Amino acid sequence: MWGGILGRLTLHECLRSGLPEHPRHFADACLDCARALGAEPVGLAPELFCTEPERLQMRGMLEKRFGARRVMVIHPGSGGNACNLPEKEYAALAGMLLTRTDRAIVVTGTAGERTSYEAWPRELLDSSRFWLSGGELSLRELMALIAETEVIVCGSTGPLHIASGLGKPSLTPFCPFPSVSAALWGNIGGEGLVIEQSRDRCPRYNGGSASHCDFHGVITAETLFQALVR
């Protein structure tokens, strides 16, 4: 799409997304390909299927660990396509949820990320209401977990779009700059609550670095916690 050099050399029709000037969800931009072929899209939300046996199996795993407690998922990592909080803020949020609420917490991630999470405070890792599941779940099991959770807290990353496809609530910090904003990458299938950094604190809007930031302490674990309470 959108005029790559190979597409031009092979005389493909190139589509212009217009995203910089008119931000819209990236899913809608991709569906321009369908429109060009005469197929009208029927919606933007990802269509995912999590079967009832998969959900029941995950429900059993959660009940075995946590009893009847409601569960929240925290997914600290991301692929880097947008700004994200430092890992320590997600760890702090987990601590707040354990000390100030009765919720159980599941932290998800890859096997490679797990090593870093294993350095989190022992009072978290040793809690009976905390499950560090990084590297333990298949993709289907991760989908079932998100289907069974009360809410997932994460950056702009794959599990956010799983929540969108399953119609689940999410809480995500986002930068307001169009190319990395919730308008482009947010949860459009479930209830996506966004905590957005103000423009006057965003480096991109103030002539600074165009690289992804960690919100410079403007958005913190306490910010996320208060949003979850609300």
Backbone dihedral angles phi then psi of residue 100, each to the nearest 5 degrees: -110, -5
Taking 90 as the threshold, does the pLDDT of residue 125 lie above it? yes
Whole-number Å distance between alpha carbons of 106 and 149: 9
Instruction: Give the whole-number percent of the chain exceeding pLDDT 90.
Output: 67
Task: Give the pLDDT score at 95.
Answer: 97
Rg (CA), the chain: 19
Task: Give the pLDDT score at 120.
Answer: 97
- pLDDT tens-digit profile of 59-110? 999 999 999 999 999 999 998 788 999 999 999 999 999 999 999 999 999 9
The whole-chain average pLDDT of the chain stands at 91
Report DSSP state, residue 177: S
Taking 90 as the threshold, does the pLDDT of residue 213 lie above it? no
- N- to C-terminal Cα separation, the chain: 41
> Which contiguous run of DSSP H or E holds residue 172?
strand 170-174
Higher pLDDT, 11 or 172: 172
Query: Hey, what domains does the chain have and what are their CATH numbers?
Result: 1-44 (no CATH), 50-229 (3.40.50.2000)
- The SS3 assignment for 152 reads strand
Taking 80 as the threshold, does the pLDDT of residue 124 lie above it? yes
Taking 80 as the threshold, does the pLDDT of residue 13 lie above it? no
- pLDDT tens-digit profile of 151-184? 999 999 999 999 999 999 999 999 988 888 898 9
E-state strands within 36-169: 71-75, 104-107, 130-132, 151-154
Q: Which of 11-20, 48-57, 174-183 has the lowest mean pLDDT?
A: 11-20
- The SS3 assignment for 168 reads coil
Residue corresponding to tokens 């569906």: 31
Give buried/exposed letters for 13-47 (b at 16+ CB in 10 A, else e). Answer: eebebebeeebebbbebebbeeeeeeeeeeeebee
Task: Give the pLDDT score at 210.
Answer: 66
Taking 60 as the threshold, does the pLDDT of residue 1 lie above it? no
Task: Give the pLDDT score at 80.
Answer: 79
Whole-number Å distance between alpha carbons of 90 and 84: 10
Phi-psi region of 112 (alpha: psi -120 to 50; beta: other; left: phi over 0): alpha
**Global confidence as pTM:** 0.91
Higher pLDDT, 165 or 208: 165
Burial group, residue 156, by CB count within 10 angstroms (0-12, 13-18, 19+):
buried
Cα within 13 Å of Cα(52), Cβ side: 0
Average pLDDT over residues 16-23: 84
- Pair type for strands 151-154 and 71-75: parallel
Higher pLDDT, 12 or 140: 140
Nearest Cα to Cα of residue 154 among 199, 70, 89:
89
Task: Give the pLDDT score at 23.
Answer: 85
